Amino acid sequence: MPDPRGDGYVDEIPYTHGYHAAMNPRLMQWTVARAGFQPPEVHSACELGFGRGVSLAIHGSVGTARWQGTDFNPEHSRSALALCEGCEPQPKIYADSFAEYFARPDLPDFDFIALHAVWSWISPENRARLVAFIRQRLRPGGALYLSYNALPGWQPMLALREQLVDRAEAARQGGLPISAAIRQAIVELERLAPEHDVVLHSLKRRSASYLAHEFFNRDWHPMTPEAVADELAAAGVRRICPAEKQPSATFRSEYWLRDAAALDSATQQSVLSRFKILDWSGVTPEPLVLQEGWSSSAADAPETVVSVCNARQINRQLLALAERCAEPSVLACPATGGGLELGWVTLLFCSARQRGFEGPDAWADHAQQRLEALGQRPIDQGVVLEGGMMVRRFLREAAMRFAEQTLPRLRELQALD
């Protein structure tokens, strides 16, 4: 039976192991300062609805802020705790509903509150609870990270989503588990609604975990940016800037400030001079914003040693997880206090190296074995690769690039030894 504390949110199938760099306080501060506003110093932070907890575990163990968060799904909480097992400090991780968590008498005020996509998947009543929580717990000058499904970008999907939900529910009434019911609904609609074949074909390539949480909650409320701002006005926050480099028509992620203070040009340059930026040719285009004080000369500083030890501990857990499922794509990075998006295949190369395999050929062999064992195919420039020789050539070339380019940078940033 679904947990009634979730107010209609899917809990029969866990969420994906995604990481969201925009929740890294250091990246938030740099982005807000570039937009011309004073970023907060972040000593205390909170993530609401953390899913599998990859972001929370990394930021709460490798960064400098004290983090906590809640997700009503106990499996999500167990997953988050497992990722940072052995780390000190750890984030405080709760399995409370929003109503339970917001009623806790021991909550501090926060400099940074983060919600990834949660806003779109909860009831109006829970959105009102969130607004009240932000009003009560976000410090003056504090920052909010919020991402949500946006209109009008999602408008064409509204009617199709209702059809998917109705057909999946009928299949579940017939005894199918949720993942099989979702797949059956997509296949049925692909046959009956050929005008949506491009969208439905793309959905078939997504994991059941993603589809269940994206489309099959009771509440699914894409909103215009204006409507979101209207609701958040009661929290006393102001939209400042996008949190991502290339905003999407269907999904927006944004930074908001309470009591936003604009910077004049001279002060802005002074604030920005505090940040050290590294170019990173990784999966995502975002630059790497290093933690304050991070440098090779600071390698023996106590806070740096702790950050490195915690990152290595979390990365061992992430690499073990990558051996079992195709979702993890990130490693904790002590230099940034956040995560580095690398892609699942690269994590398999890292795992092979950790297991004692030497050289690109051995790493490629190991990755191919794991892909075959998990029924996966690599994707090269949007094309799913079929055939053993094609996959083998792709993996060997990728392993060579990993050895020559990525691995030295990961060691330089102390994400790997």
The predicted structure's pLDDT at residue 1: 47
Structure confidence at residue 294 (pLDDT): 83
* Section 231-242 average pLDDT: 97
Q: Which of 172-176, 201-205, 261-265, 276-280 has the highest mean pLDDT?
A: 261-265
Q: Which of 62-66, 163-167, 189-193, 301-305 has the lowest mean pLDDT?
A: 301-305
Angle at 285 between CA 280 and CA 291, to 5 degrees: 55
Whole-number Å distance between alpha carbons of 20 and 341: 9
Residue 15 pLDDT: 73
Q: How confident is the model over 243-263, as a mean pLDDT? A: 91
- Which amino acid, one-letter code, is at 168? A
Strands 277-278 and 288-289: antiparallel
Please enumerate in sequence order all residues whose Cβ is within 8 A of that of 74, keeping only pairs 6 or more positions apart, or say none.
Answer: 95
pTM above 0.75, yes or no: yes
pLDDT in tens, 50-93: 999 999 999 999 999 999 999 989 999 999 999 999 999 999 99
407: left (phi over 0), alpha (psi -120 to 50) or beta: alpha
Distances (CA, A) of 409 to 190, 352, 392: 44, 18, 25
Tens digits of residue pLDDT in 141-186: 999 999 999 999 888 888 888 888 888 888 888 888 888 888 888 8
Give the type of residue at 287. P
**Residue 304 — very low, low, confident or very high, per pLDDT cuts 50/70/90?**
confident
d(CA 102, CA 110): 13
Distance CA 207, CA 371 (A): 15
What is the predicted pLDDT for the residue at 210? 81
Residue with tokens 């490798």: 62
Considering only 151-165, 186-200, 239-253, which range has the smallest mean pLDDT?
186-200
- Please give the pLDDT value at position 60: 97
Distances (CA, A) of 255 to 12, 68, 229, 412: 31, 19, 12, 30
Q: Which pLDDT value is given to residue 315? A: 98
What pLDDT score does 67 carry?
98
Neighbours of 74 (CB within 10 A): 11
φ/ψ of 106, rounded to 5, equals: -105, 15
Higher pLDDT, 348 or 157: 348
Check residue 381 and give left, alpha or beta (phi > 0: left; psi -120 to 50: alpha). Answer: left
Residues 6+ apart with CB under 8 A from 346: 329, 398, 402, 406
Beta-strand ranges (E) seen in 71-174 are 92-94, 110-115, 138-149
The answer to whether the beta carbons of residues 257 and 139 sit under 8 Å apart is no
Give the domains, in start order, of the chain with CATH numbers.
4-152+222-274 (3.40.50.150), 157-215 (no CATH), 296-412 (no CATH)
